[in-house]
Amino acid sequence: MARLRLGVLVSGRGSNLQALLDACADPDFPAEVALVISNVPDAYALTRAESAGVPTLVVRHKEFADRAAFDAALDAALRQARVDLVCLAGFMRLLTEGFVEGWRDRIINIHPSLLPAFRGLHTHEQALEAGVRFHGCTVHFVRPELDDGPIIVQGVVPVRADDDADALAARVLEVEHRIFPLAVRLIAEGQAVVEGNGVRVRGAIASDAVLINPAP
Ligand code: GAR
- Which CATH number covers residue 73? 3.40.50.170
**Exposed / middle / buried, residue 22 (Cβ in 10 Å: 0-12, 13-18, 19+):** middle
Q: Are residues 35 and 96 in the same domain?
A: yes
Whether the CB-CB separation of 15 and 80 falls below 8 Å is answered with no
Angle in degrees, CA 214, 115, 155, rounded to 5: 55
User: For residue 160, how far is its CA from the centre of ligand 1 (angstroms)?
Assistant: 21
Q: Are residues 2 and 84 in the same domain?
A: yes
Residue 20's closest CA among 206, 192, 187, 199? 187
Q: Are residues 48 and 132 in the same domain?
A: no
Helix locations, the chain, DSSP H:
15-24, 44-51, 67-80, 97-102, 123-130, 165-188
Q: Are residues 20 and 92 in the same domain?
A: yes
- Looking at ligand 1, which atom is closest to the CA of residue 137? 4
- Residue 204: predicted pLDDT: 73
Q: Are residues 91 and 2 in the same domain?
A: yes
Active-site residue flag, 177: no
Residue 113's closest CA among 132, 94, 87? 132
d(CA 216, CA 214): 6
User: For residue 169, how far is its CA from the centre of ligand 1 (angstroms)?
Assistant: 10
Q: Looking at the domain assignment, is residue 52 inside a domain?
A: yes
- Looking at ligand 1, which atom is closest to the CA of residue 121? 12
Tell me if 165 CB under 6 Å of ligand 1.
no
Q: Are residues 94 and 132 in the same domain?
A: no
Q: Are residues 139 and 95 in the same domain?
A: no
d(CA 144, CA 128): 27
- Looking at ligand 1, which atom is closest to the CA of residue 176? 4
Q: Are residues 75 and 135 in the same domain?
A: no
CA 69 from chain center: how many Å?
23
Q: Looking at the domain assignment, is residue 66 inside a domain?
A: yes
Count of the separate structural domains present in the chain = 2
One digit per residue, the tens of pLDDT, for the chain of length 216 reads 799 999 999 999 999 999 999 999 999 999 999 999 999 999 999 999 999 999 999 999 999 999 999 999 999 999 999 999 999 999 999 999 999 999 999 999 999 999 999 999 999 999 999 999 999 999 999 999 999 999 999 999 999 999 999 999 999 999 999 999 999 999 999 999 999 999 999 887 777 889 999 988
- Residue 1: predicted pLDDT: 77
Label residues 31-45 b or e (16+ Cβ within 10 Å = b): bbbbbbbbbbeebbb
Q: Which of 111, 124, 135, 140 is catalytic?
A: 111
Q: Are residues 27 and 92 in the same domain?
A: yes
Query: Which structural domain, as residue segments, surrounds residue 173?
Result: 110-203
Q: Looking at the domain assignment, is residue 60 inside a domain?
A: yes
Residue nearest ligand 1's atom 7 by CA: 90
- Give pTM, 2 decimals: 0.97
Q: Are residues 118 and 59 in the same domain?
A: no
Residue nearest ligand 1's atom 6 by CA: 90
Q: Looking at the domain assignment, is residue 214 inside a domain?
A: no
Q: Looking at the domain assignment, is residue 212 inside a domain?
A: no
Q: Where among 53, 71, 103 does a domain terminate? A: 103
What are 36's strand-pairing partners? Answer: 8, 56
Whether the CB-CB separation of 112 and 146 falls below 8 Å is answered with no
Whether the CB-CB separation of 89 and 129 falls below 8 Å is answered with no
Residue nearest ligand 1's atom 9 by CA: 90
Residue 3's closest CA among 183, 180, 177, 189? 189
Q: Are residues 117 and 85 in the same domain?
A: no
- Residue 207: predicted pLDDT: 78
User: For residue 119, how far is its CA from the centre of ligand 1 (angstroms)?
Assistant: 12
Whether the CB-CB separation of 61 and 40 falls below 8 Å is answered with no
d(CA 71, CA 96): 7
Q: Are residues 91 and 145 in the same domain?
A: no
- Residue 47: predicted pLDDT: 98
Cis omega (within 30 of 0) on the bond before 55?
no
Q: Looking at the domain assignment, is residue 128 inside a domain?
A: yes
Q: Looking at the domain assignment, is residue 215 inside a domain?
A: no
Q: Looking at the domain assignment, is residue 208 inside a domain?
A: no
User: For residue 216, how far is its CA from the centre of ligand 1 (angstroms)?
Assistant: 33
Q: Where among 103, 126, 144 does a domain terminate? A: 103
Q: Where among 103, 132, 157 does a domain terminate? A: 103
